[in-house]
């Protein structure tokens, strides 16, 4: 797989594959020309998704697994061909695969195509075409049909991955009753960004020097509001913000695990607000406990930084994002009453939010997170987040 966002790949990156002798692998395949048979296209795409995901680069000659030269393919009618491939992939592979295709101009007459296939969270994927139904996978020998044992193993592995991801988030919430750093307020967000590959049989592992180097730009939500400290610990690398409130506490911290999982715990957005921000419906709770809605921008920014980190350490998508709120009973939403009706108080201590999947490096994080933010607003009695316009574009509150 080419270690760049698909949108950032240029023709120089393609020529670099040849000059560096980047050999084909489980996640990288070269093809000199386009598929002439639809079934061959579907086999190659589904097999890659059922294995580890990766890139198929069309327009490079293949010499026993090594790239020969960049020959390109004809640019004539390329847009129509791409649209046809997208339609075939969408209609003939189940469950649906979100494959992205990029045409990269080489000469005035030729281009190179890159098909980016995500590692699937729903494997195995079935090819249904011309009265045929088959499962395929990819190994060191190429594309092979899956037998009943392969299919069973793939199904079990997908279920195991799903269960392990779900269990990790819940177990961490329980573990955080004794966190590595105490937060300023009992109320907090617990956010996990989990690479699917972290829970594979041969999962991702990041060395300490690599982690320290690649983590340098990552800040937990709201970490730009104070003095930041970082250190290695038994789980990986811990970064936190010195508290203005109490020594030994922090408004937020970020724990990066050696597996590539990133955990952010943040209480900074839970705090005090004036009466015109929470309304008169105070009930029996203290009147100024609220969640500031600017948290959405902080969460989107943090996850975007995580994507940059994964790109640097070459941990591929997809990534599962899970978020919960704990210690929030009685809190209200700190929104402008001139723009929003008064919110309700949360009626429970913990709120589990829906998980979402970031399919690739080019995913719009804000759009992907909308179901999560909607669920937060639902907890306060609103129909959904007001940080999106009618077209679904993110327009965060300031």
Q: What is the pLDDT of residues 224-247, one digit of tens each?
A: 556 678 888 888 988 887 655 555
* Whether the predicted pLDDT of 277 surpasses 50: no
Instruction: Report the SS3 class of residue 153.
Output: helix
Tally Cβ neighbours within 10 Å of residue 10.
11
Q: How confident is the model at residue 160 (pLDDT cuts 50, 70, 90)?
A: confident
Which of 161, 134, 188 has its CA nearest to residue 320? 161
Q: How confident is the model at residue 280 (pLDDT cuts 50, 70, 90)?
A: very low
- 283 or 209: which carries more pLDDT confidence? 209
pLDDT of 287 reads 46
* Whether the predicted pLDDT of 390 surpasses 60: yes
pLDDT of 282 reads 41
Distance of CA 272 to the CA centre of its chain: 32
Considering the chain, tell me which residue range(s) the CATH 3.30.950.30 domain(s) occupy.
6-146
142 CB-near residues (< 8 Å, 6+ apart): none
What pTM did the predictor assign? 0.79
Query: What are the tens digits of pLDDT across the range 246-260?
Result: 555 677 888 999 999
Q: How confident is the model at residue 222 (pLDDT cuts 50, 70, 90)?
A: low
Of the candidate CATH numbers 3.30.950.30, 3.40.50.460, 3.40.50.1370, 3.40.50.300, the domain formed by 6-146 belongs to 3.30.950.30
- Tell which phi-psi region holds residue 245, choosing left (phi > 0), alpha (psi between -120 and 50) or beta: alpha
Residue 248 CB burial class (10 angstroms; 0-12, 13-18, ≥19) = exposed
- 200 or 199: which carries more pLDDT confidence? 199
pLDDT of 224 reads 54
Distance CA 63, CA 50 (A): 25
Distances (CA, A) of 11 to 6, 73, 181: 12, 13, 46
Query: What are the tens digits of pLDDT across the range 83-114?
Result: 999 999 999 999 999 899 999 999 999 999 99
* Whether the predicted pLDDT of 305 surpasses 80: yes
346 CB-near residues (< 8 Å, 6+ apart): 325, 328, 329, 330, 331, 332, 379, 380
Sign of the C-alpha dihedral computed for residues 320, 321, 325 and 331 taken in this order: negative
Pairing of strands 252-257, 188-195: unpaired
pLDDT of 125 reads 96
* Whether the predicted pLDDT of 285 surpasses 50: no
Task: Tell me the CB-side half-sphere exposure of residue 125, using CA atoms within 13 A.
Answer: 33
Output the average pLDDT for the chain. 85
Pairing of strands 54-58, 236-241: unpaired
Distance of CA 176 to the CA centre of its chain: 23
Distance CA 261, CA 273 (A): 33
* Whether the predicted pLDDT of 193 surpasses 80: yes
């Amino acid at each position: 797989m080419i270690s760049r966002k698909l949108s950032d790949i240029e023709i120089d990156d393609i020529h670099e594959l040849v000059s560096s002798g980047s050999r084909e692998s489980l996640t990288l395949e070269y093809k000199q020309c386009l598929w002439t048979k639809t079934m061959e296209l579907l086999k190659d795409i589904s097999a890659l998704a059922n294995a580890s995901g990766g890139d198929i680069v069309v327009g490079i000659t293949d010499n026993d697994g090594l790239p020969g030269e960049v020959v390109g393919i004809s640019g004539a009618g390329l847009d129509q061909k791409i649209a046809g491939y997208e339609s075939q992939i969408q209609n003939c592979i189940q469950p649906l695969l979100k494959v992205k295709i990029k045409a990269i101009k080489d000469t005035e007459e030729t281009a190179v195509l890159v098909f980016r296939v995500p590692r699937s969270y729903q494997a195995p994927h079935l090819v249904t075409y011309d009265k045929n139904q088959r499962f395929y996978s990819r190994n060191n020998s190429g594309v092979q049909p899956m037998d009943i044992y392969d299919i069973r193993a793939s199904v079990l592995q997908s279920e195991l991955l799903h269960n392990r991801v779900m269990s990790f988030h819940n177990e961490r919430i329980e573990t955080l009753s004794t966190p590595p750093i105490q937060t300023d307020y009992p109320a907090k967000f617990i956010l996990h960004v989990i690479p699917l590959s972290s829970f594979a049989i041969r999962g991702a592992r990041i060395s300490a020097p690599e982690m320290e180097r690649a983590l340098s730009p990552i800040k937990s939500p709201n970490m730009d509001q104070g003095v930041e400290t970082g250190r290695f610990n038994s789980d990986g690398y811990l970064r936190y913000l010195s508290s203005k409130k109490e020594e030994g506490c922090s408004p937020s911290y970020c724990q990066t695990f050696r597996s590539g999982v990133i955990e952010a715990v943040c209480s900074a957005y839970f705090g005090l607000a004036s009466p015109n921000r929470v309304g008169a419906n105070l009930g029996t709770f203290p009147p100024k406990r609220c969640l500031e809605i600017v948290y959405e921008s902080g969460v989107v920014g943090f996850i975007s930084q995580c994507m940059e980190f994964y790109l640097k350490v070459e941990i591929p998508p997809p990534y599962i994002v899970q978020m919960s709120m704990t210690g929030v009973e009685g809190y209200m939403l700190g929104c402008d009453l001139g723009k929003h009706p008064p919110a309700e108080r949360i009626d429970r201590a913990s709120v589990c939010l829906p998980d979402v999947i970031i399919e690739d490096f080019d995913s719009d994080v804000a759009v992907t997170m909308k179901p999560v933010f909607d669920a937060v607003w639902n907890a306060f009695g609103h129909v959904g987040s007001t940080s999106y316009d009618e077209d679904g574009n993110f327009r965060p509150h300031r």
